[in-house]
Amino acid sequence: MAQAKFVGIDLGTSTSALAHVRPDGNPEIVPNADGERLTPSVVYFDKFEGIKVVGSAARDGGDPERTVHFIKKHMDDPSFTVEMDDQKWTPTEISAMILSKLKRDCSQIAGDIRDVVITVPANFNELARKATVTAGKLAGLNVTRIVNEPTAAALFYAHTQDISGRVMVYDLGGGTLDITVMEIAGDKVDILLSEGARHLGGSDFDEVLLEILADEYRKKNKAELFLDERQRRRLRALGEEAKKMLSKLQHVSETIGNDTDGIARIELTRDMFETAISRLLTRTVMLVEQALDSLDLTTDDIDHVVLVGGSTRIPKVKELLEKQFGRPPLSCGNVDECVALGAALFAQRARRVSEVCNHSYGTLAIIEDAKTGEAKIRNSIVIPKNTPIPCSMSQTYITSEDNEELIEVEITQGEDLDPRYVDIVGKISLEVPPGRPAGCEVTVTYSYDENQRVRAQVFDAESGLKKDIAIEYRGEGVLTDEDIERKSAYLKQVKIA
Ligand SMILES: Nc1ncnc2c1ncn2[C@@H]1O[C@H](COP(=O)(O)OP(=O)(O)OP(=O)(O)O)[C@@H](O)[C@H]1O
Ligand SMILES: [Mg+2]
């Protein structure tokens, strides 16, 4: 089979898509074997045949108790597992099943798929990025680059709508909101800032709609709408369909109910829905403001606001942005495909796109308060958030005590000065020769590569000793190279429908 060229995959919270660049230079979505352009990111563990079903059949047909949704929300959790028939599955393995289906299905149309670019939310941490690369490996893919979803989307907009200047990408998907400000000049994209909310998106709106349905049902039938998880999930899917219709219609009526308490006809209006999600929408407005504030910009400094993500089809979302910016945002129409399409373009042009690091990295150091003179342990930032990557930055510290024999550097991730509000993501211990006075210089260097992987080095000037580590995470969900090999072989035998 011929090899597919320039393949991009959007591994989304609710839906995933694969695109490639055609010989004429335009990207296109490759449908799955079910004839769909978007594959629901849902896995169903079939009890009888031992098959893992991925996609629409899993979302709509499977036993809810054996179905896994929204696994992307757990990609950064090293201890999260799904237990099925006494076997534990990590988010990485579940994601690998989704990628396996895309690889297999799309290869039939596009040619053999091996090298791919996979997208992640801009605010995914290193653990989640690494888990994404590993999921690709498990699925037999060679992940050449991980790219931020807004960067990919911006490339697609730049390709199709000829936008340039300072652009804000507003991505409201199934699980996350990402706001990214960038400079676009031709094919060149420079990210200035990426902010986001990890748990704000379409699935939260679905929960709200489900609550409206339950409330209305209670009013009418004086009973609870759903009595178990199975009913709840089915109604949630129905609610999602109603939500989508409300983006087009002002009024939708649903007949719902259960065996015990009968059915009821429920009238839903766009107003009811938009009022119920207004608190969540206010958060989105505030996040836009916050992003602009961090850059010292106002809405007038933004040339274009572009829409990405299925949830930007909600009229109120567009309306609020129009109100905030004084002009309507741009939409490419296929808001839920543009990330995959842009990822394919990225696969073709990776070298011209620059990105920024998503977190600050620092170390704990004793720092004197400028006002009070009091010495306190503080988080001293070595690489600030939003520094263009790849980058390597150093800070030199002075040892505070005589006769230190062990230099311990704790690696922090986070922006706060207060050590209580940052994460310790690694530690380097460097043994140094005895008998040295306080005041020796120790240099800490962090480097951040284009796949957002971080390395840390400590250099002790006095002894000339140094030590270097990759920032790695440990936990049940973090696989070693041997694990990857073993599980990849295993996954090849797992039948994915
Ligand atoms: N017409 C519509 N009106 C309202 N919501 C919609 C519409 N079409 C799709 N959605 C919602 O968009 C969400 C899916 O969007 P998308 O495919 O962009 O997200 P994702 O990429 O899976 O998620 P994320 O980017 O957060 O990882 C779902 O919650 C879906 O219900
Ligand atoms: Mg998305």
Q: Check residue 456 and give its pLDDT.
A: 92
Q: Do domains 202-276 and 361-470 have the same CATH topology?
A: no
Residues 85, 91: Cα–Cα separation, whole Å: 16
Interval between CA 82 and ligand 2 midpoint (Å): 23
Residues 6+ positions from 388 with CB-CB distance below 8 Å: 190, 191, 354, 355, 356
Q: Is pLDDT above 80 for 305?
A: yes
Closest by Cα among 140, 146, 107 to 126: 146
Q: Is pLDDT above 60 for 119?
A: yes
Q: Is pLDDT above 70 for 354?
A: no
Residues 463, 391: Cα–Cα separation, whole Å: 26
Confidence of residue 353 (pLDDT cuts 50, 70, 90): low
pLDDT digits (tens, 9 = 90+) for 204-216: 999 999 999 999 9
Q: Is the CB of 12 under 6 A from ligand 1?
A: yes
Q: Check residue 9 and give its pLDDT.
A: 98
Q: Closest residue (by CA) to atom 25 of ligand 1?
A: 173
Confidence of residue 342 (pLDDT cuts 50, 70, 90): very high
> Ligand 1 pocket test: which of 244, 250, 287 has the largest number of ligand atoms within 8 Å of its C-beta?
244
> Ligand 1 pocket test: which of 336, 338, 341 has the largest number of ligand atoms within 8 Å of its C-beta?
336
Q: Which CA distances in Å does 231 have to 61, 212, 234?
A: 13, 16, 5
Q: Which CA distances in Å does 322 have to 164, 201, 304, 334, 352?
A: 19, 19, 11, 19, 31
Looking at the domain 361-470, which fold is it?
Substrate Binding Domain Of DNAk; Chain A, domain 1 (2.60.34)
pLDDT digits (tens, 9 = 90+) for 3-14: 888 999 999 999
Least confident of 71-85, 352-366, 400-414: 352-366
Question: Per the structure block, which two tokens stand in for 316?
Answer: 């109120």
Q: Is pLDDT above 60 for 488?
A: yes
Q: Is the CB of 336 under 6 A from ligand 1?
A: yes
CA 437 to chain centre: 47
Please compute the mean of the pLDDT values over residues 24-40 and round it to a whole number. 96
Q: Check residue 294 and give its pLDDT.
A: 93
What are the sequence ranges of the domains in the chain?
202-276, 361-470
Percent of the chain with pLDDT over 70: 96
pLDDT digits (tens, 9 = 90+) for 91-118: 999 999 999 999 999 999 999 999 999 9
Three-state secondary structure call for residue 300: helix
Q: Check residue 176 and give its pLDDT.
A: 85
The residue with tokens 């409206």 is 212
Q: Is pLDDT above 70 for 344?
A: yes
Q: Is the CB of 175 under 6 A from ligand 1?
A: yes
Residues 132, 147: Cα–Cα separation, whole Å: 11
Interval between CA 171 and ligand 1 midpoint (Å): 10
> Ligand 1 pocket test: which of 9, 10, 11, 14 has the largest number of ligand atoms within 8 Å of its C-beta?
14
Residues 6+ positions from 332 with CB-CB distance below 8 Å: 156, 157, 160, 161, 306, 307, 338
Interval between CA 282 and ligand 1 midpoint (Å): 18
From the alpha carbon of 177, which atom of ligand 1 is closest? 26
Q: Check residue 233 and give its pLDDT.
A: 82
pLDDT digits (tens, 9 = 90+) for 266-279: 999 999 999 999 99
Question: Per the structure block, which two tokens stand in for 117?
Answer: 């670019």
pLDDT digits (tens, 9 = 90+) for 468-485: 988 765 555 556 677 777
Q: Is pLDDT above 90 for 45?
A: yes
CATH architecture of 202-276: Alpha-Beta Complex (3.90)
Interval between CA 10 and ligand 2 midpoint (Å): 7
Interval between CA 427 and ligand 1 midpoint (Å): 39
